[in-house]
Structure 1
């Protein structure tokens, strides 16, 4: 029996709750799944954790596996999507968004770094420009002009608590914008920037 037929048979058996077939799939595909995770995360421990999560998801969704014709492709797509989803959540955490904004205001990058990160910076600027009203005003005064919350409160006739709340809201909105507008390559670029922290 050709290897592709064997793998398809494994998936069909897993769909019928066959744990032995699942073990065979795990042993056979672990190098591929781990390799994909490691390639995207550059972190062996994180890649191991994510690879285990991928196989857990495979087992949890086993009822759908009977219709899969190309198991290797199915697992690659599952691995890539789960890892990139994990990276998006990590990269676009509000504290990381703040760091990225500050990073792009620094002018000590080399020409090569500027070229590689130009697209990411453009999406970041679009995200900031998408802010409106007081959220945009407070964010600009805080992150672009460097004013304290006390100074912002005095200038805009709002409370210090309101100033802090607007900044938190701005970071959340920027994160959501980045999550929907930054492609996979930009997520990896952002992760590279964050590794400099």
Structure 2
């Protein structure tokens, strides 16, 4: 860098920057980078993010240089750009954290639902296995009630037995299943 650029004031450097003078840009960079970095670090408390924010500010400064106004205050422009970049970082980071949090919750819930459904299927198979082990008459009474939702009177008519026998067989079937599965027996079976 030419030593004379170090003697230029900000307005002279700004006018050279507008004309795409690389040495003017380098001088502005060396003048303001440490100040902007300290400000960004005070806000972000993270070296890499602070460096990224300041680098982004200078990249945009170079890209927008030809469209800057001639009377621009470089210091104010850079400070405002840094503040806005920090706010954007916070906003993106907040959205990013919210997204990750929501995704984590979704995955946790999906895992719980999947685990629940697997356990439900296993329990259902175990219950079906125990129903198959019931004595034939008891199983038939139980399945007519469960599968066809027949009343005790209707079951008695179908099987040609008394309603009292149907009720006794149902109570024994439910009692047998409760003894095997306790609280895990779905409430549907209990209300039969």
Give the structure-1-normalised TM-score: 0.46
Give the structure-2-normalised TM-score: 0.47
Structure with more relative contact order (C-alpha pairs < 8 Å, separation 6 or more): 1
